[in-house]
Amino acid sequence: MSFEIKSAGFDDYLRKNGDGLTIDERKKVNKVGAKIYENAMQTFLDHHRSDRVYQNGTEHLADTLTHEITTGGKYEIGFSKKGKKAYIARLLNDGFDVRNQFGGPYKHVAPEDWNNFIANIGKENDARMGREMSRKAQEIINNKMHSNDTGS
């Protein structure tokens, strides 16, 4: 999952307001929006946490949520390799076809709360992420303009 400002509206906003953003500034803007998504994802995972105690130090899916900022300025949120739980998130998000040694047919399993939860969390928080990212970009642009006005 990657979060980067891509909408034409925001690009127009940057063109109208001058300088645009450097990679470091883009990282700051993307981080603001991605943090909102990451917090919403963590809340969702914690809300759906089971009481099950895993053997051999295995972590719960909610404990493996992680993030990384790429060199291009994208803020990526996912599940750690160490936790070995990303496949479970994918199964819950996409649903799965049950199979066993007898074949089937069995119905497609897609837990209602989990069905497409990765995209749904993004949609639910899209407006808030956009507002905060725009606010952060405006703050950065204002600081640039202020430093140019003062001759710094």
pLDDT tens, position by position, 30-41: 899 999 999 999
Tally of structural domains, the chain: 1
CA–CA dist 77, 56 (Å, integer) = 26
On whether residue 2 sits in a domain, the answer given is no
On whether residue 99 sits in a domain, the answer given is yes
Go through 33-52 and write b for each residue having 16 or more CB atoms within 10 A of its CB, e for each that does not.
bbbbbbebbeebbeeeeeee
121 near 37, Cβ under 8 Å?
A: yes
* pTM for this prediction: 0.76
pLDDT tens, position by position, 13-53: 555 554 567 888 888 888 999 999 999 999 999 998 888 77
Full residue range of the structural domain in which residue 112 is found: 11-149
On whether residue 46 sits in a domain, the answer given is yes
49 near 60, Cβ under 8 Å?
A: yes
On whether residue 38 sits in a domain, the answer given is yes
